[in-house]
Structure 1
């Protein structure tokens, strides 16, 4: 009977070892999945950053252009006011 008990013991140990191995494999697969998800998130963040940098550049260009137009309008208003004053002073 001790041989039968030894076989049962060995089978039980083998089952525990297989369960431990399966758990380790599952944990490794989960870590790999999380790693891939993190890589995807990093790629999305980089893409968003590039898009936002481009939008910022465009907004700065528009702001600079508006500032130039504002200066030109201001210059023209000053010229118009000076012309009106000159006409009224005559």
Structure 2
């Protein structure tokens, strides 16, 4: 209504139809069937994905607490590296 083009994602075709037909989304896709979400979300390069990445398992508790205090900007992830040597 304010000039926005709204795209949703759902875990099933029935839910996708529900988003478009009942909630008025302009478009929607089934995230269970989409192999590449980056390409599904890129219509004219106007949408970007923002991720907040905490480094190391030891930073996970602080990252979780930060979620409840609004400290993250995007999707909160914790990067854990494994030493296989």
Judge same fold: TM > 0.5, yes or no: no
Give the alignment's TM-score, normalised by structure 1.
Answer: 0.15
* Structure possessing the higher relative contact order (Cα contacts under 8 Å, 6 or more residues apart): 2
Higher helix proportion, which one?
A: 1
Give the alignment's TM-score, normalised by structure 2.
Answer: 0.16
